[in-house]
Chain A
Amino acid sequence: MITFHAVRVRYPGADADALAGVSFGAESGRLTAVVGPNGSGKSTLVRALLGRVPLAGGRVSVGTDAVNDLPRRSLAQRVAVVSQREDPAFPLAVRDYVALGRYPWQAAWGTPSGDDRAAVARALADAAVSSLTERRTDTLSGGEWQRVRVARALAQGTAAIVLDEPTTFLDIAHEMACFELLSALAHAGRCVLVVSHQLNLVARFADRVVLLSRGQVVADGPPDHVMRGETLERVYEWPLVVSRDPAVGAPTLVPLRKRHTPFP
């Protein structure tokens, strides 16, 4: 569904590529996670997917079309994005906020059709925020706001949804709920691409993990394949061990205190 092919991006004035030939694909029906240390190129990847940075080489495609050839509106009808942070200038009712997700499908005057209303109601229900519809966005807690933002992306009715660090401000229960939702969306047929720092959550939920380091793909495959101690230790430059979580046996990363490093 979403394909990166030898994508190179270099920011003006930078002395190295932010993305140095990244290739991988995120398929429909799968939860694909992109992980990597700060500065590894994760956010640039999202920007490249939206056509918001010029490519120095390669190609990003959605379906069979190159992103840079697609009109903005067509892209918005195919890919919904939940960015890292969003701060509406003026508070809106949650219902009105989620309804903005229908924007790419509406004519200029923007009168909602029956389809629009149905999509909004379904998105509110899927993101479990139906009870919040009359609240104002500036009265929501961090967890509620994040779910409402996911609801807006769902209302967009796209085949692919991209989330940049969706669990940054969430506690354990909300983190888990968020990934449960993403996993359910993927297994219902959507292409879900999530950028995350939460390696342990990713290991539990993702069907496929892409590990970035310095703008390159270091490992790509199922969590068991990517979550290897020596690989992660090299990429994150910190001593750690990978064990198995006691509940489901997924690989679990445990960073170590430096003075307790078993191998000096």
Chain B
Amino acid sequence: MISIRNLCVEIGDFNLKNANIDVFDGEYMVMVGPTGAGKTVILESIAGLCPLTGGQVLLRGMDVTGLPPDKRRISIVYQDHALFPHLSVQENILFGLKVRKVEKKEQERMLEKVVSLLSISSLLHRSPPTLSGGERQKSAMARALCVEPDLLLLDEPLSALDPKGREDVQEKLVNIKRSLKLTTVHVTHDFEEAIALGDRICVIGEGEVKQTGSPEEIFRRPDSEFVARFAMARNIFTGVTVVSKEGEGCQFRTDGVTFSAMEGVKEANRAVVRPEEVVVSVNPLEEGKMENVFSGQISGISDKGATLLITVDLPPPISILITRREFMHLNPVMGMMAYVGFPASAVHLFHENTL
């Protein structure tokens, strides 16, 4: 297991405060957060490439905070691949084994292993500048894996790729995850990427760890407005919990409407309803089927390609994500009266510290 304890880093204006993160053996942890949130700094701190102002990095219980990067057995793959431009792909892949003076036979065995895992045998004698984005990223991953690290760090490995390269590299990442069971920390600003790949997700923002949990937890049960917004929850309401008893259902009042919720959270002042959990109809909805049924005027229609976002003013405004087929069936127009409904289980309450 890798444990980061009270990690503090200060670089220029950037300030990371008391970050605590645990990554279990064989786990694929995705660290997600907006650009400039400090994700790369955390990776470089784990690798020993960034000076710490405080805290510890523990690798399998051993404090490695004072160890130089070459003694940690932690590999890093950067967003822009960082292949050595003066070496061929094969020389790049074997770099780590050569500097460690590993026997030639072992070098050949490892080369064959990573090359077949990433399907890059045709690239071995190519020079990095002649490769496509996806090919470069796969070569950089092969180089990182060739030294058999205890921990693999991936810094936005898909961000600089075109959609085809992205799909290809993502598939390879899933392959690596399944076959090697290697402890991995992958950072990204893309929440969908985090959901698709992560065993667990750690949300970083404003120089601190905001929430760590399974994709399901982060997606459905954010514990702050920051995480809810980052998880594209869209419908975040400010209000008060009217009846709240631990373990029982409760009600949440916001802007003149009251939502029924399953969870009872004391002093909850925020409610989140994911837009894909809400149904919309031009005909009245049956009240018995869902605990929360409202009506209002359609105040916005936003085309997202495969899906559309409809906004209905209850008031307050609530966004509903529907498929294009549903849209054709519904045929909504601005100003039209619409009925919306969602179950109490779709309402997630939490307390946002507003101090």
**A complexed with B:** no
